[in-house]
Chain A
Amino acid sequence: MNEAMREMLQDLLKAFGETFQMVGISLTLSIVIGIPLGLLMYVTDRGLFLQNRFVNVVGGILVNVIRSVPFVILLVLVLPLTQRLVGSTIGPAAASVPLSIAAIAFYARLVQVSLCEVSRGVIEAATASGATPFQIVIHVLIPESLPGLLRGLTVTAVSLVGYSAMAGIVGGGGVGDLAIRFGYYRYETNVMVVTVLLLIVLVQAVQSFGDSVAKKVDRN
C-alpha cells in the first residue's frame, strides 16, 4: 500500500512537471509572439495609425485558420514540423510545438480584442501630442489594455492545461497522459480522480492569480 502510494506520488509529480513544462513553453511563446501578432493585427486595422489592409487580412486569416482546426488534428498536422524543430514527436517538448501554435493564435486574437477596447480618443490625444507609433504602443496601448491582456493570458493558460492533456494522448506525457493510462487502461479510478481533482485545483489557482493581478493593474 505504502509502496503504491509512493509510486503514484512519483508518477503524479513527473506528470505535473511535464504539464508545467508544456504550458510554460506555450505560454511564454504566446506572450513573445502572440502579443506582437495581436498588436500588428490591431494597428493595421482600418482608421488606425499603421493601416495596412494586406497585413491585417492575412494576419486575420492565418489566426482564424489555426483556431478553426480542431486541436487533435493540428497535433497530427504539425508532426513533420515538430520532428524538424525538436528532433522527436514524443514527449513534452514535442507536444509544445502544436500547443504553442494553437496558443499563439488564440492569444493573438484575445490581444487584439483587448486593444480594441482602448479608447480611440486616448490614441488620438497621443497622436496629437506628436507621439510616434512606437511610443503610442509602449505608453498608451499596452498600459491601457494591460488588465485585458492579463485576463486573456489567464484564459489562455487555463485552456492550455486542457489542451496539454489532449497532447498527452499522443505521447506528450503530462497529467492527461497519466489520467488516461491509469484510469482508462488500468482501471485505477482513484488515480484518475486524484489527477482530475489536482487539475481543478491548478486551474482554479491560475484563474485566481490571473484575476488578482489584472485587478491590481486596473486603474479604472
Chain B
Amino acid sequence: MINLTDIQVRFAGTQGTIEAVKDVSLHIGRQEIFGIVGTSGAGKSTLLRTINLLERPTGGSVIIDGTDVTGFTGVELRTLRLRTGMIFQQFNLINAKSVFGNIAFALKVAGRTKDEIAVRVPELLALVGLTDKEDAYPAQLSGGQKQRVGIARALANSPQVLLCDEPTSALDLETTSSILELLKEINQTLGITIVIITHEMAVVKAICDRVAVMDAGEIVEEGAVYDIFANPQHEFTRQLVARSLNLDLPQRLREENGGRILKLHYRGHRAEEPVISETIRRFGVRVNILHGQIEYIGGQPLGALVISLDGDPEVVEHAALYIGSQIAGLEVVQ
C-alpha cells in the first residue's frame, strides 16, 4: 500500500542543516493500523507528512499502490491528497465555518455539486456520531467533537489512507479512547489504512497492528505491536516500554520480606496456565503476590507478577526452578 524507501528530509536551519528524517524505509500494508512512536523532535510528523507530500522528501521515494508519487505536482498531487485523509492534534478546523461548512469544503475541493454535498455531509456526520451538530461552529464544540469533525472532513472523499498526527494528544483519557475506538471502527468497516503518530504507548497498544519506533530521525525498531512490547530490542524501545509497565517495589516491602522475591514474566499463551496454584500444591510454600500487571494486546497476555516465596530454603529453590520452567521469563529480585 504505502512504501517509503530511503526517505530523507533535511531542513536548512539557521545553525546549519537539520536532518529530520534519515534514510527511513517503511512498508505499510493495506488496511493496517500502523503506529509511529518516538519522543518529541524525533521526526515523526515530518515523516508522516511526506506520505501526502506536505513535506517533499529531499531524498528517497514515496510509493503508493505501486506508483511513485514523490515528484507529483499540480493536479496529480491534489488528486493524491483527495485519496489521503489527514487529521491533526489541534484539529485545524476552519473556525469561521460551521461543521457543515468545514466538511462541505473538502467535498467542494473534490468538485462535488451542492446536491451531492447536501447528501454526503449528513452521512459523514452520522458516521462520526455528530448528527445534531451540523450547524454548530468549532468554538462551540468540545475537543473530542472537534476531532470527530476532523475525521469526517478527512473521510469526506472516501480516501484509502488516513494519516493521523497525534490525534488524541490534546484530549483527556476518556475522549481519547472514544476517538481511538472510532478510528478502529473506520479501519474495520471502511477498510481504510491508518497511519497514526503518537508518543503514548497506550495508544499503540489500543489500536495498532504494527509499530515503528523512531529516534533522532531514524527508525530504530519495527514490528508487530505484541512483539515490540514483549521483546523490545533497542535500548530506546525498552525505555518506552518500561515506562508503560512500572513494577518497582517500595523499599519497605523488600526489607520486611526475608524470603525470595521473584518477578514472573508473562508472554503469550503460557499466562493462562495456573502456575502459582500448582507451585503451592506441589511444594507447600507460602506465596504472596506483591505487585503485578497483566494486559492483553491484540488478545495476547503480556505482563509480570512480583511474588514472594516463603518456606524451607531448599524447597523454595526447587519451587523457583519449577516456576522458571513454566513461564516465559523469571527474574530473581532478591
The chain A residues found within 8 Å of chain B, CB to CB, are 119, 121-122, 124-132, 135, 139-140, 143-144, 146, 217, 219-220
Instruction: Mark interface residues in B68-90 (1 if CB within 8 Å of A CB, else 0).
Output: 00000000001111101010101
Chain B residues lying within 8 Å of A124, measured Cβ to Cβ, are: 54, 88, 92
Q: Are A219 and B96 in contact (CB under 8 A)?
A: yes
Known contacts: A143-B94, A219-B139, A220-B139. The answer to whether A129 contacts B81 by CB under 8 A is yes
Q: Are B105 and A144 in contact (CB under 8 A)?
A: no
Residue of A nearest to B153 (CB): A129
Residue of A nearest to B52 (CB): A128
Q: 8 Å CB contacts to A: which residues of B78-113?
A: 78-82, 84, 86, 88, 90, 92-97, 105-106, 108-110
Known contacts: A121-B90, A127-B54, A219-B138. The answer to whether A143 contacts B97 by CB under 8 A is yes
Known contacts: A124-B54, A128-B54, A128-B81. The answer to whether A139 contacts B105 by CB under 8 A is yes
Q: 8 Å CB contacts to A: which residues of B103-135?
A: 105-106, 108-110
Which applies to chain A's interface (DSSP): helix, strand, loop or mixed? helix
**A124 to B80, alpha carbons, bound, how many Å?**
15
Of A129, A143, A146, A219, which is within 8 A of B109 by CB? A129
Residue of A nearest to B78 (CB): A130
Q: How far is the CB of B11 from chain A (nearest CB, A)?
A: 11
**A144 to B78, alpha carbons, bound, how many Å?**
22
In the complex, 7 of the A-B residue pairs with CB atoms within 8 angstroms, ordered by the A residue number, are: A121-B90, A125-B88, A128-B54, A128-B81, A128-B84, A135-B109, A139-B105
Q: Are A139 and B54 in contact (CB under 8 A)?
A: no
Other A-B pairs beyond A122-B95, A127-B81, 14, CB < 8 Å: A124-B92, A125-B92, A125-B153, A126-B94, A127-B54, A129-B81, A129-B86, A129-B105, A129-B109, A131-B109, A139-B94, A139-B108, A144-B96, A219-B139
The residue in B86, B93, B95, B97 that gathers the most chain A C-beta atoms within 10 A of its C-beta is B95
Q: How far is the CB of A145 from chain B (nearest CB, A)?
A: 9
Q: How far is the CB of B268 from chain A (nearest CB, A)?
A: 40
**A220 to B80, alpha carbons, bound, how many Å?**
32
Q: Are B97 and A130 in contact (CB under 8 A)?
A: no
The residue in A124, A125, A131, A146 that gathers the most chain B C-beta atoms within 10 A of its C-beta is A125
Q: How far is the CB of B195 from chain A (nearest CB, A)?
A: 13
Chain B residues lying within 8 Å of A219, measured Cβ to Cβ, are: 95-96, 137-139
Chain B residues lying within 8 Å of A217, measured Cβ to Cβ, are: 96
The tally of residues in B whose CB lies under 8 Å from a CB in A reads 30
**A92 to B153, alpha carbons, bound, how many Å?**
51
Q: How far is the CB of A207 from chain B (nearest CB, A)?
A: 23
**A144 to B92, alpha carbons, bound, how many Å?**
12
Residue of A nearest to B79 (CB): A130
Of A119, A128, A135, A146, which is within 8 A of B108 by CB? A135
Chain A residues lying within 8 Å of B82, measured Cβ to Cβ, are: 129-130
**A143 to B138, alpha carbons, bound, how many Å?**
14
Known contacts: A121-B88, A219-B139. The answer to whether A130 contacts B109 by CB under 8 A is yes
Q: How far is the CB of A159 from chain B (nearest CB, A)?
A: 26
**A144 to B108, alpha carbons, bound, how many Å?**
18
Of A127, A128, A144, which is within 8 A of B94 by CB? A144
Q: How far is the CB of A131 from chain B (nearest CB, A)?
A: 5
Q: How far is the CB of B159 from chain A (nearest CB, A)?
A: 10
Known contacts: A122-B94, A125-B92, A219-B96. The answer to whether A130 contacts B139 by CB under 8 A is no
Q: Are B153 and A140 in contact (CB under 8 A)?
A: no
Q: How far is the CB of A187 from chain B (nearest CB, A)?
A: 54
Residue of A nearest to B163 (CB): A128
Q: 8 Å CB contacts to A: which residues of B133-148?
A: 137-139
Chain B residues lying within 8 Å of A139, measured Cβ to Cβ, are: 94, 97, 105, 108
**A19 to B331, alpha carbons, bound, how many Å?**
89
Chain A residues lying within 8 Å of B86, measured Cβ to Cβ, are: 125, 128-129
Known contacts: A128-B54, A132-B78, A219-B139. The answer to whether A144 contacts B95 by CB under 8 A is yes
The residue in B52, B96, B106, B110 that gathers the most chain A C-beta atoms within 10 A of its C-beta is B96
**A219 to B139, alpha carbons, bound, how many Å?**
7
Q: How far is the CB of B60 from chain A (nearest CB, A)?
A: 20
**A119 to B96, alpha carbons, bound, how many Å?**
12
